[in-house]
Amino acid sequence: MDAEYGLKALRVRSKMTDPRVSVIEGRLKKVNSILAVSSGKGGVGKSLIASTLSLALASKGYEVGLFDIDFTNPSTHIILNAEGISPTEENGIVPPKIHGLKYMSIIYYSDKRVSPLRGVDMSNALIELLAITRWGSIDFLVIDMPPGISDAILDLIRLVKKASFLMVTTSSKLAFETVRKLTSLLLELRVPVIGVIENMKMRESSFIQEQVKGMGLRFLGEIPFDYSLEEAIGDVDKLLKTLFAQKVEELAEKIIS
Amino acid sequence: MHEWALAEAVVSTVSQIAEREGLRRVTEVRLKVGELQQIEMEILRFALSELKRSSLLEDAEFIIETEKAELTCRVCGHKWFFKRIEIDENAAEAIHFIPEIAHAYIRCPRCGSPDFEVTRGRGVWLESIKGAKQDD
């Protein structure tokens, strides 16, 4: 930033400063806790865990927001069957409520169209939504993260200082390797990691648990592969009756304790 | 971006810069507004005039310049300007809130690719601030 000083007057050339970033902290001021559900790998169940965790927290009487920031492949709207709702405009945008959750997703704007976004576009879309969304006073904001160790993670670390990360892996060494890398980055940057969930467990093995503990992290628990889950996608009542949801509820207790 | 949220962001950013630079009051704020976001200027100006009250910007004049939205195809290199009348109402509204959603609705007129860059005129930018270091 350049400044031209006179005796009393000052002209600051702000070099095209982006004003959006300055309001993000204020928008999240009344959000008590931000949980970013993450993994280096796709397909490990982040969206189902983020959605079900949000519902579990809401059923315990908490005010909960769910923010899907997987902009190129959003899926929580399918899990929640979030059709026919849209945000309202009020000095910004206010997320609509569905199943007791304040719910925000790019699908309100992209509808069912493909949104092919490069990294810089994803960053801009995230900054835009963080700057205009008015979450109000809530206990938890659960963020469904896109997979990978890229723009979304870096932007969240940069812009949402109070976010804590909840890591999801499957029992596979391949999935865990990405979680290990992502977690080591978060720890290096002193970003809080709540713990690791082992999802879709199909056989007895203590491999993940040992690895997690070996990293000095909290192993939050395991969720067995639930064959009834696919049938419950889009039907929240059915979803909440699954074994998967029971397990997520147990995890919710651990997370808030 | 919604005009009120945008105005709030501008007032907040200018206040932060003014405080950092030791300004007692801000007299002029120059903004650049890209056409892609289709900001309603009247609403933006009204929101700024409301939000600047009781702040360092109370006496500030806002000079707002609009910039045409230029899109450049990464595949064939074609450059073109965004025109509001060429897209439907829903697409225009979606782009108003999240300009990147343009990639879901707009294709390169020459090769049909969605892989284009918004080279100019995307959002709202603060160009300069003028103010005084003492009350006078």
Please give the full DSSP string across A18-29, using - where no structure is assigned: -TTHHHHHHHTT
Q: Would the CB atoms of A110 and B101 count as touching at under 8 Å?
A: yes
Q: Quick one: tokens of B89?
A: 């109402």
pLDDT digits (tens, 9 = 90+) for A181-201: 999 999 999 999 999 999 999
* Spatial CB neighbours of A34, under 8 Å, sequence gap ≥ 6: A28, A140, A141, A143, A160, A162, A163, A164
Local structure of B36: helix, strand or coil: helix
- Rounded to whole angstroms, the Cα distance separating A144 from B99 reads 21
What would the mean pLDDT of A138-160 be, rounded to a whole number? 96
pLDDT of residue A166: 98
- Please name the residue of chain B whose CA is at the shortest distance from the CA of residue A9: B132
Contact at 8 Å (CB) between B61 and B28? yes
User: B interface mutation test: which of A132, A134, A135, A159 has the most B CBs within 10 A?
Assistant: A132
The yes-or-no verdict on residue B135 having pLDDT over 90 is: no
Q: What is the edge-to-edge ordering of all strands in the sheet holding A101-105?
A: A97-98, A101-105, A64-68, A138-144, A31-38, A163-169, A193-201, A219-224
Backbone angles phi and psi of A137, in degrees to 5: -95, 110
Cβ atoms of A107 and A77 closer than 8 Å: yes
Q: How far is A138 from chain B (nearest CA, A)?
A: 20
> A12 pLDDT exceeds 80?
no
Write out pLDDT tens, residues B78-120. 999 999 888 999 999 999 999 999 999 999 999 999 999 999 9
Question: Could you tell me the pTM of the whole model?
Answer: 0.93
ipTM of the complex: 0.92
Query: Would you state the structure tokens that stand for residue A7, as one six-digit string?
Result: 């005796």
CA distance A64 to A226: 25
Q: Under an 8 A CB cutoff, do A110 and B21 touch?
A: no
